[in-house]
Structure 1
């Protein structure tokens, strides 16, 4: 039973405000979280847009951000309307919550976190102060919602007293499933084109395609500064590979609908919303068995990174030559998304966890 009606919730995202002008996964997730909390009947207020982020490990910057956070916390302590709950999204060593714990404690507001991580290895070195602050913020939380089993490892090991750790599966910001894919068109890849992990996934894809012997074609959705490198990787395959560029939501949905399968190795992905989107459309996914991906992929057998591109090619061939297998996996994927990874499930899970906390403070 959802019991957010009449509640007022303070929301804060130290890494990136939901109102930030530059799109990103963090901005999108923050917006989606505010929406699913509000869907329980509560009023959700974005109480601060102060960005706390140190990308490089700059101690002078950290001190300046601490001073800004103190000023902001003092302001909120004196001006914040009465709140039933404080929610902070994404507290970690580069972007610790320096505001929420202080304001919540002073104003006697229950304090919870969503997607918070503890990085013990960062307690020494250039981020030591911010890492310690992130740990203290974790300690202050009555409830921490974790998105992946990988995050749970350190949260559980360093849990503060009887802190409640609640699994909060990543979700699509919709109430219903999108349309089902035809499963008859080209393969689809979607990913930003930038150096590092994203480019590494594209490199694996290129090596995988070289092993394919069946008739195939691939469409790639995405854009970025490494576009030229990705084009070079795909050049040997000629017209079999089509670049779609950056797509909006409607265009991306159409790309899913006409695809036969979704291909993305997922190098160091935290979890990857594209996997939820693809499976929501009923696409079987070809990916590698990696920690973050296990939380969002249909349970099954996926090649390990050590198995290499040839194993991915073998999985692709099995799907391209078996329409019935594509259909059965796609149906199972849609069933999983509907049950666990849509907005109503996230709303119910959130309020189920925080309602006892709120009842204990009233």
Structure 2
């Protein structure tokens, strides 16, 4: 059995605050340990500077130095491997490279980004630390083709860059959706990109003809803004609030279309969840998002809300098309985005580093 130290500098997998980042970290821990290997969440330290504040960064460096020294002294002696999830300029890994160098442990990264444009400005020192941490990794697993561009350009030495597509922490698919219920949106409600997606969605809904209904699963500090956007549609739009896993799966099981524009989404786990249930998905054709969507026609960003609405109207008017897209999506997720595939891809690159077999 291999023992793996796992660290997520931006947000601990144990955080009480829901997010796609937290869910992906939890999924990765499950995937890495799926063959019986032990995965230790090695530190709860959060190294994250949202605003580019020099004093915050200085304090985080001091905390990281103390934590690194603690780990060097106290980490289990049989730890074989260190894995860091989501090293980037606002949340650099200030622990892994130092601890691994001191203890002679292989160091790997998952979903890391290199932001050379941030080497100047308020995050410049943190960006350099994130860049240096990338250089220290023997393997970097990337989730999207967009991430690979800079990772490949800035690759350090003979570092391995290994695709590990986003995945669901399941081995078999849930039952297929009936496809007969309302449309479904699943999205957190906060300012910025999430609210921008709700704006596109509301504009698109204004172009629709005929009878339609939309359920919205999600909550957050911008809920009042989202409710205001949806107010013109009255009872056609129903707010479900934040759903637990079982309730959300029930929503997928009856949805006709999963509709979410995906403004600046890294990729979007909700797309995988919907497709696993055989729900036709409508998103804009965006980097990151396209890495988790089964191949079909998606409206371009340039076509705007009207182009989005045109495709949505086509799906509403054609149940056979929805069923066909949903069936292809289930096959796509089975082939590429379930946990067994992720586990195999991870260990194929990791085991040789600790003297095992691929």
User: Per the shorter chain, which TM-score range?
Assistant: over 0.9
Gaps of 5+ in 2: none
* CA deviation profile, 1:279-300 (whole Å, cap 9, x unmatched): 0110111111110111001112
Correspondence for 1:124:
120
Distance in 1, Cα, partners of 2:22 & 2:290? 23
Secondary structure of 1:31's aligned partner? helix
206, 212, 215: which one pairs with 1:219? 215
Correspondence for 2:319:
323
1:250 maps to 2:246: yes
1:275 maps to 2:258: no
- Please say if residues 11 and 22 of structure 2, whose CA atoms lie closer than 8 Å, have aligned partners that are also in contact: yes
Correspondence for 2:65:
70
Distance in 2, Cα, partners of 1:32 & 1:261? 25
- Please say if residues 36 and 346 of structure 1, whose CA atoms lie closer than 8 Å, have aligned partners that are also in contact: yes
321, 328, 342: which one pairs with 1:332? 328
17, 24, 43: which one pairs with 2:12? 17
Comparing 136-145 with 337-346, which one deviates more in the overlay? 337-346
255, 259, 265: which one pairs with 1:263? 259
Correspondence for 1:105:
101
- Please say if residues 319 and 326 of structure 1, whose CA atoms lie closer than 8 Å, have aligned partners that are also in contact: yes
Correspondence for 2:40:
45
Secondary structure of 2:173's aligned partner? coil
Gaps of 5+ in 1: 1-5
CA RMSD of aligned residues (A): 1.3
236, 239, 250: which one pairs with 1:240? 236
Secondary structure of 2:189's aligned partner? coil
Secondary structure of 1:138's aligned partner? helix
Correspondence for 2:307:
311
1:171 maps to 2:167: yes
- Please say if residues 178 and 253 of structure 2, whose CA atoms lie closer than 8 Å, have aligned partners that are also in contact: yes
Distance in 1, Cα, partners of 2:66 & 2:266? 33
Q: TM-score, normalised by structure 1?
A: 0.95
Distance in 1, Cα, partners of 2:193 & 2:338? 27
Correspondence for 1:155:
151
1:343 maps to 2:339: yes
Distance in 2, Cα, partners of 1:92 & 1:333? 31
- Please say if residues 296 and 325 of structure 2, whose CA atoms lie closer than 8 Å, have aligned partners that are also in contact: no
CA distance 1:193–1:130, shift in 2 (3 Å): same
Q: TM-score, normalised by structure 2?
A: 0.97
Correspondence for 1:198:
194
Secondary structure of 1:305's aligned partner? coil
* CA deviation profile, 1:41-96 (whole Å, cap 9, x unmatched): 21111221111111111112212211211111112112222311110111111111
- Please say if residues 20 and 268 of structure 2, whose CA atoms lie closer than 8 Å, have aligned partners that are also in contact: no
1:31 maps to 2:26: yes
Stretches of 4+ aligned residues off by more than 4 angstroms: none
CA distance 1:360–1:248, shift in 2 (3 Å): closer
130, 137, 144: which one pairs with 1:134? 130
Deviation at 1:332, TM superposition (A): 0.5
- Please say if residues 40 and 348 of structure 1, whose CA atoms lie closer than 8 Å, have aligned partners that are also in contact: no
Distance in 2, Cα, partners of 1:43 & 1:202? 41
Distance in 2, Cα, partners of 1:307 & 1:224? 29
CA distance 1:255–1:153, shift in 2 (3 Å): same
Distance in 2, Cα, partners of 1:321 & 1:31? 38
Deviation at 1:360, TM superposition (A): 7.7
Distance in 2, Cα, partners of 1:340 & 1:276? 10
